[in-house]
Structure 1
Amino acid sequence: MGSSIDNPKAESILTEFLKERPNLRFIRLQWIDYSGVLRARIITPERCLQIARGADICTLSQNCMVIPISTAPKCWPDGIEEWHLLPDWDSLIVCGFSPSHASVMCFTSCDNLDNPLARCPRFALCQSLEVFDVLFGEHHILMGFEIEFVFLDETYTPLQSLDQTVGYSMLSGLRGKNLDIIETIMDSLIASGIDVHHFHVEAVHQYEIALSALPPLRAIDSLIMAMETIRTQALRHGVRATVTPSPVLSGPMSGIHAHFSINPNPPNSSSFLSGVLARMKSLCAFGLSNCDSYCRIAPDCAGEWIAWGTGNKDLPIRQVHPGRWEFRFLDATANAYLFTSAIISAGIDGMKTGLVLEMKDCTVVPSALGSEEVDVKLRDVGVTDRMPKTLQESLEAAKADHEIIKWIGRELHNQYIRVKEKEAEYFLKMTTDERRRKFLDYF
């Protein structure tokens, strides 16, 4: 399944890694909490070797996964708990933006549970991939992510310069300082061994970097390193780079688009798609996982209707070709491990049960039509349901979805929903700008 818990080769993997990098001084033990926040403990190589040998372990407190962004640092853990970080040694990577640092993504283990990994999103994804491999071992999944981001100045407004971004794939915005920043980001990603498919201007004030396809676990690890690289290198140029969904009060909205393919394409890949469509409202609780995520329930973003279409960017699922889709209902506030686990589980269910794809390929661009006309044309292709418009609506769907609960496990499901309900409760009490600034602190 592409992960390494209790890896018998842990010490040799780390020893070889360090031998090839004699100037390495620190290693970041990293994890993603339920709010999509990257957290880390930074240790020396010497201590890291002790952990790899099983002679030491990194211990965390009960708040390590459950701090809502809206109330931080206040949180509501179940009680006194002891958590541990279990490094996935196969994820070791140099931090290209700081060559004396490396990082390793970790599983999160809670000693208080019968199954200590029952609340770990990374482990949930590993389990989903294992089920897929058992059932469809002749096929494999690849994923690649597109990252949209915006540069802001110290006043949290879009960076102004003579070289201003104007529109999609134009060179305006790539002739001056902004290009220098992005080149530094690219150099760092290359130094980390992350393959970039392309970068370009996406919209006014907005850029995009697209990562090349990898197996899901490694693809998400690369996504996390790429977002941290973008933020770090921009800051070193005196600029704030943000991947938050709503970076400015009036302007571009940023998402993470997940390209997902089954290789080779199975004859029943349409059933995988049908399984995802059947669970869309629940899945939005994991992909559009915070209040500001729902500004992207809009044309040319995450879409307004539960539908799919070949080449259609006005919908939440754009089919590139059969067996390859772009899932557009994802942003940087999500825990991408948990989102991908839920997507794969829904697709597996569709394939196992032979779920027929009754919804037709939607060639309609809903945003180009009037309200009455769009209802008629969408109904003709089997599209009748709208995307959820709020986090609360998605959470209610996920709470009532017993299959989702079964797939990711009740422990993980309950913990995640509790954090998200607190975020929804407290964010709704804030003004739009208060909420925006809170997200800017994190993403």
Structure 2
Amino acid sequence: MDLPPKPTLENLRHVVNNFPIIDNHAHNIIQPALIDTIPVESVTSEAQGHALRDAFKSLPHLRAAQQLRQLYECPDEANWKELLAQRLEWLRSGPERLNQHCFQGVHALLIDDGLASPEKVLPYHWHDRYTKAPSKRIVRIETLAERLMESILDGITIDDLDDASFFTDTWVTFTEEFERELQELIQDPEVAGFKTVICYRTGLDIEPDYEQAAREVGLPFERYIERCVRKRKFRIERKPFNDYLVLRALEILSERVPYLDAMSKPLQLHTGLGDNDIDLLKSNPAHLQPLIENYTNVPFVLLHSAYPYTREAGYLVTVYKNAYLDVGEVFPMVSRDGQKSIMRQALEIAPGSKLLYSSDGHYLPETFWLANLQFRQVWLELMTEYIEKEDITPHQAIAMTKDILFNNSNLLYNLQYEAIFDDYTIPTKALTFTARPGVEPSPQPTVVPLPPRPETRSQPSVLAPSSAIPRTTSEGPQLPPFPPPPKEPQVYDTALYDQFMQQNPEVKFVYIQWMDYMATMRVRIVPIKEFDRLMRTGSRIGISQGNTGTLQNDGPTPVMNPVGQIYVEPDLQSLRRTHKKDPLPSATVMSFWRDEKGNLIRECPRANMELLINDLQYNYGIKLLCGFEIEVTFLRRNNDQQGEPYMLLTRTHAWGTMTPEQWLQIPFLAEIATSLSEMGIEVQQFHSESGQGQYEFVLAPQPLLTAVDSLIQARQVVAQIAALHDLRATLHPKPFPGIGTAAHAHISLDPPDRDLQFFVGGVLDHLPAICAFTMPEEVSYGRVADDSWTGGTWVAWGTQNREVPLRRVTDGRWEIRCLDGFANMYFAISAVLAAGILGLKRNLVEFPQKDVLYNPSQLDEAGRLAHGIARKLPASFEEAAHALAMDVDLSGALAEGFVRDYLAMKESEQKMLAEMPDHGRRVWLIERY
């Protein structure tokens, strides 16, 4: 497998200057007719009125002016007046071009649209024309409350205040409506989070006790209502009332989490830097510590770098899992040295996974452009310095860059966007602004062409919706989109298909296959003429949405939805000739699931696994190889209807033996190995396993998705060749007493230097939940026992230790032992990948779980604790399912709603199986797996 070279400073520079941004805190652009009402110099200062005049002599202004000259294509010697004249010309002749330049490199915006009245600014979704993905709303709770109160008090006069019940009735109406609005907004997919500006109003020293705040709000609420009625001013700035609003919002957010330990939508809080409305002493985020502790399932986002209290904010985000630091607004409001100092303070102890980029862009498009440019400049200087001092490596700097620009916000706000980017293909010519002759343009963020996908597979559409909205100009000449959109991808690689058919002209049919949630293979048999039409026209096969929510026997589950279509798209990378004993001259191919527009959907097992593979490669520089062991028990059918329906193929049998009885089976076993080899699936060896009639075929390591595809296709061959010999090949983990059948997977990391973070810090940490995928039936847990070489019952790892579920074979290579043939291998490996990525994000270097060189079951309690062994694996599928339901981090790392749907379907399946007699259940499972 070709690996990219180790990243260098040049790769870091490429990533910093070009990686797409999720701007986690911004505001709307002002209406074009009002753009002249906002002084341009305000882009670098919070000063207002006469105080703003002095901004011209500040370092932030002088630096921004130099950069704006380049933006507007002014000569270096142009003064401020000339710069404004050039800007005015841009606004008259082509404002769309200016906007396109200013939003270049921005993937998505999260917009607080409560800064100004809707009549003054453009709606939040207007900005979608300049971004790769749709904008989302951040709802300001004070604005929500004020507009709600204005509606409630519409038509109320001073005379109404004399009614004894007026204030009580108004309070009840307001609180009910406020809660109803918040509940609806929490459910609204357009709303990414909420925000409070209580820092501006009454300070961050919020009363932490909700009941106490509710008791204190009475009289201040009445005074507020009187002012609203008398003066028609609805701004909320009475501390008890402001405190109550924030606490009520936190209560509602906290109550609406879907399950224990889940996180609500985030709450952003203005902290630190602000205009003269703010009480600087009360803008210190340290005041928020009691609130952060009281509402542990609400993420708190501390905005604007908390400047000048960055260190306090850094401390909070380090010690509380639900606190995050936004590093916006200081770009471009602070000088370059100040920005570097602020970022240094943020990085002193705060994890890179808790920092979020924002522009705080508002009103003028230039605010977005300056913040984007200046952040990248300062960040590159810092990362380069840390690398040169050998504090970090280029790879770590690249990973941190991607986190702060994109990944952290993507995960925190549950956006499910994808950044498609190649760290190693550096464009020879970047997209830059056109400059006047003799004027050197500054480096600009660029969007590079789509990179090749890992494993040299064709790049699929992303799961996130695309914002390919046609761009138009409101005046002036029609301009091409900027940056130019990628070309429409070709659905199928027809050259690859043509090559396959030239090598296999005898193929007359194609098995188009996919694996459902219950690990059942589904298939459509398509004549080659129809398959050829699909390839040439880019068509797909439509199936009912409901087919993805049924059991192995098509029994219904709560997930089944008979409304809608899924479109099955063959992945030509998995296309291969079937074995020669197949009754049809045919080929077989695995498939993706897409929607009607061709986008991959969250239900698709292969697509979700591939996204995790991409995440590992592009964000962590890690590629994976995987080799599977196919353990299988061969059974003869017993025609005696009164007795046991199966007989074991061999009885004089042990691990690695070849008795005369076994020797007679060599031609049959070799037929399987030869058939696989002819299909291009390499078998490295095969041998007898410990159980009677049990054999193992060891497949060669391959890139991960290819390895799983090959495993599934190989298992079909094993079962089909066995059927030709009137045998049943089963993967059942316990087909007979004394026979335990596993499905071990060997996974190798390249480079191997972070395998402990991946496997110990990630996989082992989430192993009880992962078992719900790797051992997905109740009988799966009958195979696993101590002192039996089945991986044991303790959550532990060890080098060359087969009594632990996670065996380290050598540096970078690990064996997953708590895995059997009932598993949907796409799901099982996806869970391992997701957990491993969580471990990489934590980036620990020391772990409580030590390399155990003993059988954990033979250690006493003190010995196990010395090795960090404190938990047991689930003893039943019910326990594993509960562990998965409780593992919010692992659920969040997988596709949206996937864990919920999977557990709902498994619940239906387990109920169906429980109603069968033990004997009937065993036969039912043997015949299907």
Write the distance in 2 (CA, Å) between the matches of 1:135 and 1:398.
Answer: 26
Is 1:324 aligned to 2:813, yes or no?
Answer: yes
On the 8 A contact 2:509/2:587 being kept in 1, the answer is yes
Cα 1:140–1:252, aligned 2, differ >3 Å: closer, same or farther?
same
The amino acid of 1:142's aligned partner reads L
Aligned to 2:727: 239
Is 1:185 aligned to 2:669, yes or no?
Answer: no
TM (normalized to structure 1)? 0.92
1:283-326 C-alpha deviation (Å, 9 max, x unpaired): 11111112221112213124211111111111111110121110
Give the counterpart of 1:252 among 735, 739, 760: 739
1:50-77 C-alpha deviation (Å, 9 max, x unpaired): 11223532111234322223x6444440
Cα 1:201–1:409, aligned 2, differ >3 Å: closer, same or farther?
same
Q: CA deviation at 1:83?
A: 1.3
- 1:33-182 aligned within 5 A: 33-54=516-537, 56-69=539-552, 72-76=554-558, 77-96=560-579, 97-98=581-582, 100-111=585-596, 116-137=600-621, 139-155=622-638, 156-160=645-649, 164-172=651-659, 175-182=662-669
On the 8 A contact 1:121/1:412 being kept in 2, the answer is no
Aligned to 1:293: 780
Aligned to 2:851: 361
Aligned to 2:226: none
The amino acid of 2:865's aligned partner reads R
Q: CA deviation at 1:196?
A: 1.0
Cα 1:397–1:190, aligned 2, differ >3 Å: closer, same or farther?
same
Aligned to 1:303: 792
The amino acid of 2:849's aligned partner reads M
Aligned to 1:230: 718
TM (normalized to structure 2)? 0.45
Cα 1:187–1:326, aligned 2, differ >3 Å: closer, same or farther?
same
Aligned to 1:402: 888
- 1:6-45 aligned within 5 A: 7-45=490-528
On the 8 A contact 2:504/2:577 being kept in 1, the answer is no
More strand by share: 1
Write the distance in 1 (CA, Å) between the matches of 2:798 and 2:773.
Answer: 22
- Matched residue SS, 1:403: helix
Write the distance in 2 (CA, Å) between the matches of 1:13 and 1:74.
Answer: 39
Write the distance in 2 (CA, Å) between the matches of 1:238 and 1:7.
Answer: 44
1:131-185 C-alpha deviation (Å, 9 max, x unpaired): 1011222x31100001111111113423355xx4421111127744422221110
Q: CA deviation at 1:9?
A: 4.9
The amino acid of 2:917's aligned partner reads T
The amino acid of 1:209's aligned partner reads F
Write the distance in 2 (CA, Å) between the matches of 1:120 and 1:315.
Answer: 32
Identity across the alignment (%): 29
- Matched residue SS, 1:78: coil
Aligned to 1:383: 869
On the 8 A contact 2:550/2:557 being kept in 1, the answer is yes
1:358-377 C-alpha deviation (Å, 9 max, x unpaired): 2111112145x3xxx54343
Segment of structure 1 superposing worse, 286-295 or 226-235: 286-295
Aligned to 2:748: 261
Write the distance in 2 (CA, Å) between the matches of 1:101 and 1:46.
Answer: 12
Write the distance in 2 (CA, Å) between the matches of 1:320 and 1:53.
Answer: 46
Write the distance in 2 (CA, Å) between the matches of 1:282 and 1:173.
Answer: 44
1:258-302 C-alpha deviation (Å, 9 max, x unpaired): 000102312x32111121111011111111112221112213124
Write the distance in 2 (CA, Å) between the matches of 1:130 and 1:428.
Answer: 39
Structure 2: 5+ residue stretches without partners: 1-453, 461-488, 639-644
On the 8 A contact 1:62/1:83 being kept in 2, the answer is yes
- Matched residue SS, 1:325: strand
On the 8 A contact 1:166/1:173 being kept in 2, the answer is no
On the 8 A contact 2:637/2:647 being kept in 1, the answer is no
More helix by share: 2
Write the distance in 2 (CA, Å) between the matches of 1:400 and 1:246.
Answer: 28
Task: Give the greater-gyration-radius structure (CA).
Answer: 2
Structure 1: 5+ residue stretches without partners: none
Aligned to 2:804: 315
Q: CA deviation at 1:211?
A: 0.4
1:392-418 C-alpha deviation (Å, 9 max, x unpaired): 111111112222222212232222121
Write the distance in 2 (CA, Å) between the matches of 1:110 and 1:418.
Answer: 23
- Matched residue SS, 2:518: coil
The amino acid of 2:517's aligned partner reads Y
On the 8 A contact 2:514/2:591 being kept in 1, the answer is yes
- With a CA cutoff of 8 Å and minimum separation of 6, indicate the structure with the bigger relative contact order: 1
- Matched residue SS, 1:200: strand
Aligned to 1:210: 698
Segment of structure 1 superposing worse, 169-178 or 355-364: 169-178
Cα 1:15–1:115, aligned 2, differ >3 Å: closer, same or farther?
closer
On the 8 A contact 1:271/1:347 being kept in 2, the answer is yes
Q: CA deviation at 1:119?
A: 0.8
- 1:191-202 aligned within 5 A: 191-202=678-689
Cα 1:226–1:110, aligned 2, differ >3 Å: closer, same or farther?
same
On the 8 A contact 1:28/1:101 being kept in 2, the answer is yes
The amino acid of 2:618's aligned partner reads V
- Matched residue SS, 1:197: strand
Is 1:345 aligned to 2:828, yes or no?
Answer: no
The amino acid of 1:64's aligned partner reads N
Write the distance in 1 (CA, Å) between the matches of 2:928 and 2:921.
Answer: 11
The amino acid of 2:854's aligned partner reads V
1:12-40 C-alpha deviation (Å, 9 max, x unpaired): 22122112111111111111111111111
